[in-house]
Amino acid sequence: MVQQTSSNTASILGKKEIDFIIIGSGIGGLSCAALLARYGFDVTVCESHSIPGGAAHAFERDGFKFDSGPSLYSGLSYSPSANPLKQVLDAIGEELPCVTYDTWGCCLPEADFDTSVGTNQFCEVLQRFSGAEAIAEWRELQRVMEPLARAATALPPAALRFDVGAIMTVSRFAPSLFQHIADIGKLTGPFSRIMDGVIKDSFIRNWLDLLCFLLSGLPADGTSAAEMAFMFADWYRPGVKLDYPIGGSGALVNALVRGLERHGGELMLNAHVEEILVESKRAVGVRLRGGKQIKARRAVISNASVWDTLKLIPQEALPKKFQERQATPECDSFMHLHLGIDATRLRSDLACHYIVVNNWENGVTAPQNVVLVSIPSVLDPSLAPSGKHVIHVYTPGNEPYELWEGMNRKSEEYARQKQLRAEVMWQALERIIPDIRSRCDVTLVGTPLTHERYLRRHRGSYGPAIQAGIGFFPGSGTPIPGLLCCGDSTFPGIGLPAVAASGMTTANTLAPLHKHVQMLQDIGYLG
């Protein structure tokens, strides 16, 4: 289960200065911190919560172990992997045992069915719903995406850095990149540009919009072609499997914390940062709740969202160019059901995951139109007591914050609204387990206000909604010297692989070039 104790807080506060202070122990922050520690720096992570992991933390109720956020993983069970999160784990020398599987359930307007990753099974689905012409279109899309997928994975994220040293690290992969030079340019811009040239069938277009939404929080016209190329490289290839970490997302967080601490870094829990200290226009440390200060010799790195980071900077020290990032568009928030249930006489063919879509016409981003269901104890029985299952149901980034804004969480109005807005999740789950409401031992409902409160997330948002081809995620740099950022508000965007890549790239940028090259050699990317 997730580590519940911090490192020696008194010893940290007693230090005069630390090389790097990371604000927030989300996956991006932990990836950055663990790598910086591996590179030999003195690193401290300040986490406001009593549990590390940010949106990926895990928690326990009455013997049921719940994932708070991400539930779908791939590329974690083998090396070398295109998944930046696996590259981080390899770099810090941490193993993450996983259960593999390849099938999940779909409850779509057309019908309920199972589908699988891999090259061929989706054609069976298309044969059922659309016919031979749709299969031909899908095969053509696979043909078009194949070179793009190779181009997207030709350069491992572990080689990236945001300084002139990138010339050295990236150039090591020049032969591979040169082979795909004609396709690399096609990875910019929205995926819809590629999809529109190949796909006419409405079922496939809806399916691809759905996959884009699950990756980026946006449909195909807002999701980058590079993101979908990575997905095609990972999901639609022979013999592919999906992964689930044994122990859930808490095991993943623990692996990153172990790597951080084994390399000499420190984690402070219940350490809420109230202000980034700026002196002579440079970030020099942080002030914690209660007034304690920690100084940073080299830099402060914020793993908070762009909006929450801006709140930590004194107004008089905030450059206008940085303040403009406040206008970054945001994805909507979430509703959650965390359930611990009696599994007695439950159907034996339950999948770990289900995707429920209520109506294609409304669009995949419409409020409460898409619901995700995760039953990870199907794969990892240790997550629930014997004879029980743990279930996580959520509306992924499509719950409007405005419906909840200003509401008193202790009021009857809030309780009624929770019950009303949770109903779509109960109904989705009833398509899979019809008597679910009578099986519950534990029932927890989360709202955008839950996200805002416990995750310190601006308006409970999933993350920035930056449209591919229209806007750009910034890198790790900021207009304030000594202040960097990582996480979902920086390149390459939101989602677990993206935030791990952001943390890794930020750490690499701060590392001496020879140590970065040595890391690439150690994890097998350079001979």
State the average pLDDT over residues 367-379.
97
Domain-located, residue 134: yes
437 and 347, same domain (yes or no)? yes
Kindly tell me if the per-residue pLDDT of 443 is higher than 90. yes
407 and 474, same domain (yes or no)? no
Domain-located, residue 105: no
- Between 410 and 178, residue with greater pLDDT: 410
Kindly tell me if the per-residue pLDDT of 14 is higher than 80. no
β-strands 293-302, 18-23 pairing: parallel
Q: What pLDDT is attached to residue 2? A: 44
Point out the domain boundary residue: 460, 484, 510. 460
Q: What pLDDT is attached to residue 267? A: 98
Q: What pLDDT is attached to residue 30? A: 98
324 and 471, same domain (yes or no)? yes
Confidence tier at 119 by pLDDT (50, 70, 90):
confident
State the average pLDDT over residues 470-497.
91
Q: What pLDDT is attached to residue 13? A: 58
337 and 456, same domain (yes or no)? yes
Kindly tell me if the per-residue pLDDT of 39 is higher than 70. yes
313 and 214, same domain (yes or no)? no
415 and 484, same domain (yes or no)? no
State the average pLDDT over residues 452-469.
90
CB neighbour burial string for 255-292, b if at least 16 within 10 angstroms, e if fewer: bbbbbbbebebbbbbebebebbbbeeeebbbbebeeee
Point out the domain boundary residue: 216, 235, 254. 235
272 and 287, same domain (yes or no)? yes
User: How many Cβ atoms sit within 10 Å of the Cβ of residue 120?
Assistant: 11
Total domains in the chain come to 3
Q: What pLDDT is attached to residue 493? A: 87
The sign of the CA dihedral 176, 181, 182, 185 is positive
435 and 360, same domain (yes or no)? yes
289 in Cβ contact with 274 (< 8 Å): yes
26 and 134, same domain (yes or no)? no
3-state secondary structure of 70: coil
User: How many Cβ atoms sit within 10 Å of the Cβ of residue 11?
Assistant: 9
Q: What pLDDT is attached to residue 7? A: 47
Give the range among 112-116, 193-197, 367-371 with minimum mean pLDDT.
Answer: 112-116
Q: What pLDDT is attached to residue 4? A: 43
- For residue 411 the two structure tokens come to 């009021």
Confidence tier at 233 by pLDDT (50, 70, 90):
confident
Kindly tell me if the per-residue pLDDT of 471 is higher than 80. no
Domain-located, residue 106: no
429 and 410, same domain (yes or no)? yes
Report the percentage of the chain scoring pLDDT > 70. 97
State the average pLDDT over residues 296-324.
95
Domain-located, residue 78: no
Kindly tell me if the per-residue pLDDT of 6 is higher than 60. no
- For residue 176 the two structure tokens come to 């591979």
Give the range among 3-7, 169-173, 197-201, 221-225 with minimum mean pLDDT.
Answer: 3-7
Peptide bond into 492 cis (omega under 30): yes
Domain-located, residue 102: no
- Average pLDDT of the chain is 93
State the average pLDDT over residues 338-351.
95
| Contacts with 427 (C-beta within 8 Å, 6 or more apart), sequence order | none
Distance CA 115, CA 101 (A): 12
Residues for the chain: how many in total? 527
Point out the domain boundary residue: 235, 267, 294. 235
Domain-located, residue 452: yes
CATH number at residue 514: 3.50.50.60
205 and 128, same domain (yes or no)? yes
308 in Cβ contact with 26 (< 8 Å): no
State the average pLDDT over residues 144-160.
91
For 62-74, the pLDDT digits (tens) are: 999 999 987 889 9
For 413-424, the pLDDT digits (tens) are: 999 999 999 999
Domain-located, residue 66: no
Domain that residue 157 falls in: 118-235
For 21-34, the pLDDT digits (tens) are: 999 999 999 999 99
Kindly tell me if the per-residue pLDDT of 60 is higher than 80. yes
Confidence tier at 476 by pLDDT (50, 70, 90):
very high
pTM for the structure as a whole: 0.94
420 and 350, same domain (yes or no)? yes
Dihedral of the alpha carbons of 67, 70, 73, 75, in degrees to the nearest 10: -110
Kindly tell me if the per-residue pLDDT of 10 is higher than 80. no
Domain-located, residue 1: no
User: How many Cβ atoms sit within 10 Å of the Cβ of residue 74?
Assistant: 24
State the average pLDDT over residues 266-285.
97
For every residue of 214-267, DSSP letters joined together read HHHSS-TTTSBHHHHHHHHHHHSSTT--EEEETTTHHHHHHHHHHHHHHTT-EE
Distance CA 214, CA 194 (A): 18
